[in-house]
Structure 1
Amino acid sequence: MAVRVTWYGHAAFLLESDGKRILIDPFLSGNPLAPVKAEEVQADVIIITHGHADHVGDAVDIARRTGALVISNYEITSWFQSKGVQNVWALHIGGGRDFDFGRVKLTPALHGSVLPDGAYGGNPAGVLLYLGKHRIYHAGDTGLFGDMKLIGAEKLDLALLPIGDNFTMGPADALQAVRLLKPKVVIPMHYNTWELIQQDPHAWARKAKAAVKGLKVVVLEPGGTFELK
């Protein structure tokens, strides 16, 4: 079973697997790189890594329109309920759950988490997705941490890693993260949305491939897709 991965810019991805559409951190309105409008996006599942506005994005409106299941930590799913979104499932870091589309587990992330209206957003997280035979890690917004080696022990097929610096790992730390995670494929994210996080993903890709033997690095343009077979 293949997984089709589409990047919407920043940390927003659409994963299509076995007929299900899984949307992660759908920051579209206000995202200068977004290739689609929020009202054009369909989703069966929405996963939110943390509460910042550039990750929660348009999730409330999309969830209301589509009826998608929203998965995040307890504080964020409770906030979604307060906004009229009742189809939610709360997890916390280290906890996972089997769903009809696959398994979702939250992992640590070194960052902050406050919701767009100032409400407490709980602990930030990364996400491990088990979709059929594939293991996919979306790091969320994070700095480098040594326990990425434990996440890598899951034998990752794909890692989605921030490289933008300032708010997250920069290129050097993201390179070290690749060494710890040892994924088969990595896609850089969370860069070039604004000048503050401007990076050259192709230069980073060359360094990453040189640092980890056999690694495939896929640099997507916003709206671009990659098929994980």
Structure 2
Amino acid sequence: MKITFFTHSTCILEIHEKHLLIDPFFSKNPIFRNIDFLKFTKNLEKIDYILLTHAHYDHVCDVEFFSRKFTNSLVISNYEISNYFDKKGINTYGINYGSFISFPFGKLKYVWAVHSSVFDDGTYGGNPGGFLLHTDEGNLYISGDTSLTYEMNLIPNFGKLGLSILPIGGRYTMDINEAVIASEFLKCEKILGVHYNTFSSIQINKKQAKKIFYEKGKELILLKMGESIDI
């Protein structure tokens, strides 16, 4: 399984030659003020699935763009978000908190997140969530935007995690210290940090953040734009 980080919470997972785009946030992203968004995304040759954790613009603003660019792609999200994009003529697959569901890339489960969820136009975005992904290439937890929640203790009951993707910027989500506690709940040693430094309100000290995780016997991975790792 290969994970490429772009910015904020936006990543691409490559599993069994399937490409999964997570929470696309480019066009309205302040980081792209001095970067040609269309030229940057031109290098993306394939998107098979688009996974959305909740309806805030910094996670869904480019769903329509990528759905039109990759016409065979499938949006997977909660029932309300899926219905919202279905009405726009986009291929969707609505799910909710419940069982694992099988896809060509593996098994996917929508799990609890403590946050909010509404589109920019005021449309209710349903319950925010995260994704638990089980594949024969490894297991991955994508928490989405969330506070620290005791529900995370349930996740390792389903299987050992190779990596967890957690927000670390604070204010709207967990901060560094809470993410360390989350990693302990999850029984996960490797954390990919997301949702930080995009805005002035969620700035972190990356060197200090890594040290805090290291002192707890954990590894905090902070990738540069376009950088990839394998798990």
Q: Fold conserved (TM > 0.5)?
A: yes
1:9 is aligned to 7
Q: Which moved more, 1:29-38 or 1:129-138?
A: 29-38
Distance 1:60 1:227, change over 3 A: same
* Structure 1 residue 223 corresponds to structure 2 residue 188: no
Tell me by how many angstroms 1:36 deviates.
7.5
Q: Residue 31 of structure 1 aligns to which amino acid in structure 2?
A: N
Q: Alpha-carbon deviations, 1:56-77, whole Å to 9, x = none?
A: 1201220122021110011000
2:195 is aligned to 190
The unaligned stretches of length 5 or more in structure 2 are none
> Structure 2: how far apart are the matches of 1:98 and 1:116?
31
> Structure 1: how far apart are the matches of 2:63 and 2:136?
25
> Structure 2: how far apart are the matches of 1:203 and 1:122?
35
Q: Alpha-carbon deviations, 1:154-179, whole Å to 9, x = none?
A: 31111011011111011121111111
Tell me by how many angstroms 1:124 deviates.
0.1
1:49 is aligned to 53
CA contact (8 A) 1:188 1:201 kept: no
Q: Which moved more, 1:182-191 or 1:121-130?
A: 182-191
2:108 is aligned to 104
Q: Residue 62 of structure 2 aligns to which amino acid in structure 1?
A: D
1:159 is aligned to 164
Q: 1:165 aligns to what SS in structure 2?
A: coil
Note the 1:1-229 alignment, pairs <5 A.
3-33=1-31, 37=37, 39-40=41-42, 41=44, 42-67=46-71, 68-85=73-90, 87-153=91-157, 154-211=159-216, 213=217, 215-228=218-231
Q: 1:186 aligns to what SS in structure 2?
A: strand
Q: 1:116 aligns to what SS in structure 2?
A: coil
Q: Alpha-carbon deviations, 1:78-132, whole Å to 9, x = none?
A: 00011120x2111101333101111111110000000122111100001111232
CA contact (8 A) 1:109 1:124 kept: yes
> Structure 1: how far apart are the matches of 2:120 and 2:156?
32
> Structure 2: how far apart are the matches of 1:202 and 1:101?
35
CA contact (8 A) 2:20 2:51 kept: yes
> Structure 1: how far apart are the matches of 2:18 and 2:147?
30
> Structure 2: how far apart are the matches of 1:112 and 1:151?
21
Tell me by how many angstroms 1:182 deviates.
1.9
CA contact (8 A) 1:202 1:219 kept: no
Q: Alpha-carbon deviations, 1:169-224, whole Å to 9, x = none?
A: 1112111111111213211100000110001233112211221x3x3332111211
Q: 1:61 aligns to what SS in structure 2?
A: helix
CA contact (8 A) 1:8 1:36 kept: no
Which stretches of structure 1, 4 residues or more, deviate above 6 A after TM superposition?
none
Q: Which moved more, 1:32-41 or 1:71-80?
A: 32-41
Distance 1:36 1:92, change over 3 A: farther
CA contact (8 A) 1:28 1:36 kept: no
CA contact (8 A) 1:178 1:208 kept: no
> What is the identity percentage for the equivalent residue pairs of Structure 1 and Structure 2?
37
RMSD of aligned Cα (Å): 1.6
Residue correspondences, number: 223
CA contact (8 A) 2:143 2:165 kept: yes
Q: 2:150 aligns to what SS in structure 1?
A: coil
